[in-house]
Amino acid sequence: MTSDVAWWPEDPEIDAGRVAALTVSYNTRELTAFLLWSLRTIVTWPNLEIVVVDNGSRDGSARMLAQAADDGVCTLLANDDNRQHGPGLNQGISHLASRPGPRPEWIWILDSDVVATRPDALSAAVETARQNTTPRSPARISATGSS
């Protein structure tokens, strides 16, 4: 275990209904821009935060994501080099686990090439997760990848 990994608290304060969408970006500027646009424009969810881990992109992604973070579109966790996808997800979850205040009720993991095309995409994912998760699960995580 590396020092930058934080475990999800055992009994965290949860912000009911809050969802954190988490993605990892590496040289996917246009794709990640479409993902952010779709989450902010198409998806209807009142309490959505977006966390993007950028793995040292060199294609302009880092600059675009920094501007998006400055504009309040997302939270950016910027790496100087490519830590790879799995460790990037761990970094994003560790960020959500270790910050002060309530934790999101759900984490929606998305690949950077996903584009949400339906307003109810997140509500359908949360409903499915609620139907298939026990109430005492320590971390509620829903993973969605591209197909």
Return d(Cα 22, Cα 51) in angstroms, integer: 5
Q: Domain for residue 5, yes or no?
A: no
Q: Domain for residue 6, yes or no?
A: no
Facing residues of 93 across strands?
Answer: none
Please report, as a single letter, which amino acid is at residue 103: R
pTM value is: 0.86
Q: Domain for residue 3, yes or no?
A: no
Return d(Cα 147, Cα 127) in angstroms, integer: 21
Domain containing 134 equals 14-144
The pLDDT of residue 115: 97
How many separate domains does the chain show? 1
Q: Domain for residue 8, yes or no?
A: no
Q: Domain for residue 7, yes or no?
A: no
The pLDDT of residue 14: 83
Looking up residue 96, the CATH number of its domain turns out to be 3.90.550.10
Q: What is the pLDDT of residues 3-37, one digit of tens each?
A: 566 777 777 788 888 999 999 999 999 999 999 99
Q: Quick one: which of 20, 27, 29, 75 has its CA closest to 53?
A: 75
Alpha helices (H) in the chain, listed in sequence order:
29-41, 61-70, 85-98, 121-131
The pLDDT of residue 135: 60
The pLDDT of residue 6: 72
Q: Domain for residue 103, yes or no?
A: yes
Q: Domain for residue 106, yes or no?
A: yes
